[in-house]
């Protein structure tokens, strides 16, 4: 699907059909996997709570991976726990926005009370991720109001980046989000 987006074919009937097929296939098959995930988390959460450990459920890049963005509100409602939270990967969010499945910043906003931390990296259109911030299309300034000092921030860079690209990416985030 990224190849179609990269060729400017996101607004075509072919692309719309592919998106509908992906959604339908994922939704039809996800039930048992979501049940297993919830069962596992229900077993882990009492121990996590007793040890004051946080479990972060990260947004995924692939459209068939779970939980899907529309599942998070249900997850946090069903498994309400101070030890369960949301981990946001900026690259995964941007790629899904590029594909037309979510609004990246709006998604984080909808989960703002559950955010534990961020994997920070950029995306070069349409889907090359783990790039240095400032070298791609992630709107880090739009995410700034959602980033709090209590959130853990982890840079997740490609090993192919140079030392200077890494330094530049870190400086880019510090300039926008501050030194926290």
Rounded-to-integer distance, Cα 63 and Cα 29, Å: 13
Can you list the domains of the chain with their CATH numbers? 2-177 (3.20.20.150)
Q: What is the pLDDT of residue 54?
A: 97
**Distance, CA of 171 to CA of 132 (rounded, Å):** 10
Q: How far is CA 44 from the centre of its chain?
A: 22
Half-sphere exposure of 72 (CA within 13 A, CB side): 23
Confidence at residue 180, expressed as pLDDT on a 0 to 100 scale: 63
pLDDT at 156: 97
**For the segment 73-114, what is each residue's pLDDT rounded down to a tens digit?**
999 999 999 999 999 999 999 999 999 999 999 999 999 999
Residues of the chain with pLDDT under 70: 180
pTM: 0.94
Question: What per-residue confidence (pLDDT) applies to 179?
Answer: 76
- 55: which strand partners? 84
| 133 close to 162: Cβ distance less than 8 angstroms | no
132, 164 Cβ separation under 8 angstroms: no
């Amino acid at each position: 699907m990224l190849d179609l987006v990269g060729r400017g074919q996101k607004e075509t009937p072919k692309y719309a059909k592919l998106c509908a097929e992906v959604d339908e296939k994922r939704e039809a098959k996800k039930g048992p996997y979501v049940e297993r995930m919830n069962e596992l988390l229900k077993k882990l959460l009492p121990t996590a709570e007793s040890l004051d450990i946080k479990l972060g459920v990260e947004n995924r890049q692939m459209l068939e991976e779970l939980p899907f963005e529309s599942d998070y509100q249900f997850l946090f409602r069903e498994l309400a726990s101070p030890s369960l939270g949301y981990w946001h990967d900026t690259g995964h969010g941007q790629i899904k926005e590029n594909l037309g499945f979510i609004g990246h910043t709006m998604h984080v906003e909808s989960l703002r009370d559950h955010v534990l931390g961020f994997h920070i990296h950029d995306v070069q259109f349409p889907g090359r991720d783990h790039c240095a911030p400032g070298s791609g299309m992630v709107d880090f300034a739009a995410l700034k109001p959602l980033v709090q000092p209590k959130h853990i921030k982890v840079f997740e860079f490609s090993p192919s980046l140079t030392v200077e690209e890494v330094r530049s990416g870190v400086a880019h985030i510090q300039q926008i989000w501050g030194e926290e």
